[in-house]
Amino acid sequence: MPKLSEAEQRALLTESGIVMRIGVIDERGAPYVTPIWFWSEDGFIYFTPRQKSAWFESLKRDPRVSLCIDEQALPYRKVLVNGIAELQFDVGNDALWRPTYQKMAAKYVGAVGAEKYVSDTIDQPRALFRVEMAKAVVSSWRMPVADEPGMGIWAKRYFVPGTDF
């Protein structure tokens, strides 16, 4: 199972339209997973819950997160991150990090759409969190491409003893 190179990982994390699924622990101790927009820059993954997001209180109570960033089409690239979410800006400080929010929105709806989206939601409080990739457990994967062996689709540990590679 080929891991993504640093360049492949960076490409996936910055590609337009790819959403991230964030997993937190809810108030009952159960996993809660939801797809959200994100921004990747300088070794950090940034994301923003609205003040009334179901997962915002969970994240403030327990900052452990699992992030899944993947694509639906071949070669099925994915980056998985298990780490600690750090609150960068709490609710009510949106003006301090609006440029990051603008870049994040532009990644999903283009520059013109982002301008409209931000202006239409400017009065809706939100926070900004980030996960530092260097301090997280990060794994990646993709299907074999070009002349890579097809048996590379699975890690060797999944095969029964005696399988010919």
Note the pLDDT tens digit of each residue in 130-165.
Answer: 999 999 999 998 887 777 766 666 777 788 888 876
Decide: helix, strand or coil at residue 108: helix
Task: Say which CATH superfamily domain 6-143 falls into.
Answer: Electron Transport, Fmn-binding Protein; Chain A (2.30.110.10)
Decide: helix, strand or coil at residue 143: coil
Q: What is the model's pLDDT at position 152?
A: 61
Judging by beta carbons within 10 Å of its beta carbon (0-12, 13-18, 19+), is residue 60 exposed, middle or buried? middle
CA separation for the pair 159, 96 (Å, rounded): 51
CA separation for the pair 19, 146 (Å, rounded): 26
| 158 DSSP assignment | G
Helix residue spans in the chain (DSSP H): 6-14, 56-61, 98-121
Residue linked to tokens 């960068």: 88
Helix residue spans in 15-64 (DSSP H): 56-61
Q: What is the model's pLDDT at position 138?
A: 97
Q: What is the model's pLDDT at position 165?
A: 64
Q: Is the Cβ–Cβ distance between 84 and 130 less than 8 Å?
A: no
CA separation for the pair 163, 98 (Å, rounded): 54
Domain definitions of the chain by residue range: 6-143
Under 8 Å CB-to-CB from 47, ≥6 apart: which residues? 20, 22, 36, 37, 38, 39, 85, 128, 129, 130
Q: What is the model's pLDDT at position 22?
A: 98
- State how far the alpha carbon of 98 is from the alpha carbons of 39, 40, 55, in Å: 13, 15, 21
Write out residues in the chain with pLDDT < 70, as ranges.
1, 149-153, 165
